[in-house]
Amino acid sequence: MAVDPQSLSLVFHPADVLKEVAKTVDPEDKNVHAVAQAMIQIMHEHRGAGLAAPQVGLSWRLFVTHDPDNQEHAFAWINPTLETVGDDKATEDEGCLSIPEVRGNIRRPVSIRITGFDIQGNPAEEMSDDMIARVWQHENDHLDGVLIIDKMNAMDRLVNRRKIRDLERAI
């Protein structure tokens, strides 16, 4: 499972790893912690709100985020589990680092409880109905092999068709 964190880089659609269901990792593994640190750097370099391990080529249940309201506060979620709290849903514009220049209106639950392990391997839990709850859901989708293009409505797919096709042809 050893991975050189310095060798990680962003992967783009249609990379196969982006469509795989990621596997759980050992939350106490120091290499997992080093990878999470490297992912935080990559997320910041690309000005993302979050980054999932599949987006750097690893089929691991791990993602990193920062609070859109406090970009200095980055957090790693190892083996996260999300639970919807309440019935409220909202539609917001989303993009994805692995699908550049593609945006769509994605409908998601508003309030989320997340549990998992932090970058030190300690149990962690949070609940939010702010923008970070949407980020958690977006990144967790990556761990399940789901992309925003899989959740877009027909109009957004049509608007983005050429950009998506160009990415698929670039491989």
Catalytic sites, residue numbers? 139
> Would you call 83 helix, strand, or coil by DSSP?
strand
Residue labelled with tokens 């691991």: 60
Q: Which amino acid is at 111?
A: S
Structure tokens at 61: 């249940």
CB 89 within 8 Å of CB 109:
yes
Q: Where in the chain does DSSP place strands (E)?
A: 50-52, 62-67, 70-84, 89-95, 103-109, 112-117, 123-128
Structure tokens at 80: 């996260």
Nearest to 76 by CA among 29, 111, 106, 35: 35
Cβ neighbour number for residue 87 with a 10 Å cutoff = 8
Strands 70-84 and 103-109: unpaired
